[in-house]
């Protein structure tokens, strides 16, 4: 007979209350922190009338972002989805291609593939990282692909498989070295969906440096926010030039004339948003320190409990702990939902993981591999309050 003890919802709620300041409810899942030069820089935009896509803060934000992440170039755009779409487009993804994406991800990852006219092909997760499982993916590709014109094709659909999108789930880096080996073996372009991983490192190198291109998000719930916004990261100067050009309606430089040399996009980040981002980047190291302090406090609070564990960064990584995560020992949606219901009732805003992409109505006909690990995680994940301010005094 098994002696394994199930998770106790009341013990879990009590552990959360022990860490969090219960006098300040509701406690959001993740809220922005404005404690620096935000007012000064935004006021400067208003005072000078430079509030749109032209202004000094856009260039400064891109430069500071590239410096922090260690990439050669960063191109600021209106949001993370637009950034990922342009990454895929610049990597050569076209209509009729298939792109390998995790089933366990936010819907924007799959949407961006569809914007290219391509088809998402859903792959499984690694229980140790919450991201793509490279070993399982390699085994799967060996079974389902055939080579045509020098590229791997899905035998069942006849479509070429062009790229793989590695999404760093909740800020925890995918195991990139073996995934890069799979990409080399099957001639796949690696795109990093680093929307959640600003401040996260794989073997001491910041995420976004491993694929041909990477995307970031600066939505209001991210570790650094510009209100709305995103960025493309790349170490390829020519791709950066193209990204900046097509995201600015592909307009050629001219003093007054409107000459556009290809179909472009009005995707450039406004100066007033970039101003907010510059102030946020000045505080990023403090945010990261606070978030790691909060993660450690959670780890200690949940260590004595049975039936549940606090998810910790993989051994090779340093995570930003964007969204702190609890993992039930057993897949039990009823238990998961009872915990989420009770914590929300008490003003601590928790949530489950996303519904798996292959179960959403618009993606149900898309190809997918065995998704047993992702299906298991979907039933066991609970995200808990993770705002930087919660770790400031710990």
Tokens of 338: 């009872």
Q: Is residue 265 part of a domain?
A: yes
pLDDT the model gives residue 235: 98
Would the pLDDT of 390 be above 80?
yes
pLDDT the model gives residue 1: 38
Q: Where are the beta strands (DSSP E) in the chain?
A: 73-77, 98-102, 119-123, 145-148, 151-154, 161-167, 189-193, 201-202, 205-206, 213-217, 230-234, 308-310, 317-318, 324-328, 351-352, 381-384
Tokens of 228: 């709305």
Q: How long, in residues, is the chain?
A: 394
Q: Is residue 53 part of a domain?
A: yes
Report d(CA 61, CA 72) in Å as an integer.
Answer: 14
Do 329 and 270 belong to one domain?
no
Domain count along the chain: 2
Mean pLDDT of 131-152: 97
Q: What is the CATH number of the domain that holds 378?
A: 3.90.1150.10
* Residue whose pair of structure tokens reads 């959640």 in the numeric block: 196
Do 267 and 340 belong to one domain?
no
For 123, the 3-state DSSP assignment is strand
pTM for the model stands at 0.95
pLDDT the model gives residue 23: 60
Do 60 and 157 belong to one domain?
yes
Mean pLDDT of 120-141: 98
Q: Is residue 76 part of a domain?
A: yes
Would the pLDDT of 394 be above 90?
no
Cis amide leading into 26 (omega within 30): yes
Would the pLDDT of 54 be above 90?
no
Mean pLDDT of 48-61: 92
Q: Is residue 24 part of a domain?
A: yes
Distance of CA 319 to the CA centre of its chain: 12
Do 310 and 326 belong to one domain?
yes
Among 282, 317, 349, the domain-final residue is: 282
Confidence of residue 2 (pLDDT cuts 50, 70, 90): very low
Do 226 and 78 belong to one domain?
yes
Do 113 and 168 belong to one domain?
yes
Would the pLDDT of 6 be above 80?
no
Do 74 and 174 belong to one domain?
yes
Mean pLDDT of 84-106: 98
Which residues span the domain enclosing 146?
A: 38-282
Q: Is residue 2 part of a domain?
A: no
Pick the closest to residue 129 from 327, 301, 295 (CA basis). Answer: 327
Do 102 and 244 belong to one domain?
yes
Q: Is residue 362 part of a domain?
A: yes
Do 228 and 358 belong to one domain?
no
- Cα atoms in the 13 Å half-sphere on the side-chain side of 303: 8
Average pLDDT of the chain is 95
pLDDT the model gives residue 156: 98
Do 321 and 250 belong to one domain?
no
Contacts 24+ apart (CB under 8 A), 372-377: 372/124, 373/124, 373/125, 373/126, 373/127, 373/133, 373/136, 374/102, 374/103, 374/104, 374/124, 374/125, 375/331, 376/127, 376/331, 377/104, 377/125, 377/127, 377/130, 377/327, 377/353
């Amino acid at each position: 007979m098994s002696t394994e003890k199930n998770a106790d919802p009341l013990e879990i709620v009590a552990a959360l209350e022990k860490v969090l300041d219960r006098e300040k409810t509701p406690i959001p899942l993740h809220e922005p922190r404005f404690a620096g030069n935000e007012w000064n820089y935004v006021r400067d935009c208003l005072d000078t009338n430079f509030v749109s896509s032209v202004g000094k803060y856009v260039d400064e934000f891109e430069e500071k972002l590239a410096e922090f992440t260690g990439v050669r170039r960063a191109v600021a755009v209106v949001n993370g989805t637009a950034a990922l779409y342009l990454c895929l487009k610049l990597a050569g993804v076209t209509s009729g291609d298939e792109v390998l994406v995790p089933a366990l991800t936010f819907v924007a990852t799959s949407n961006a593939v569809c914007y290219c006219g391509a088809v998402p092909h859903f792959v499984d997760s690694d229980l140790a990282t919450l991201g793509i499982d490279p070993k399982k993916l390699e085994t799967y590709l060996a079974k389902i692909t055939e080579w045509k014109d020098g590229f791997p094709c899905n035998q069942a659909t006849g479509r070429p498989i062009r790229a793989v999108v590695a999404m760093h789930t909740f800020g925890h880096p995918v195991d990139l070295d073996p995934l890069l080996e799979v990409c080399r073996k099957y001639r796949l372009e690696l795109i990093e969906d680093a929307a959640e991983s600003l401040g996260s490192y794989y073997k001491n190198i910041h995420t976004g440096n491993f694929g041909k291109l990477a995307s970031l998000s600066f939505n209001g719930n991210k570790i650094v926010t510009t209100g709305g916004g995103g960025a493309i990261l790349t170490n390829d100067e020519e791709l950066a030039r193209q990204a900046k050009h097509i995201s600015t309606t592909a307009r050629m430089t001219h003093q007054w004339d409107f000459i556009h040399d290809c179909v472009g996009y009005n995707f450039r980040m406004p100066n007033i948003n970039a101003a907010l981002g510059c102030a946020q980047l000045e505080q990023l190291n403090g945010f990261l320190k606070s978030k790691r302090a909060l993660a450690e406090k959670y780890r200690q609070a949940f260590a004595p409990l049975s039936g549940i564990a606090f998810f910790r960064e993989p051994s090779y990584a340093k995570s930003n702990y964007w969204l702190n995560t609890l993992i039930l020992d057993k897949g039990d949606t009823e238990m998961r939902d009872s915990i989420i219901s009770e914590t929300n009732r008490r003003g601590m805003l928790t949530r489950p993981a996303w519904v798996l992409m292959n179960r959403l109505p618009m993606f149900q006909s898309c190809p997918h591999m065995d998704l047993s690990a992702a299906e298991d995680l979907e039933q066991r994940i609970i995200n808990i309050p993770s705002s930087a301010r919660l770790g400031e005094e710990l």
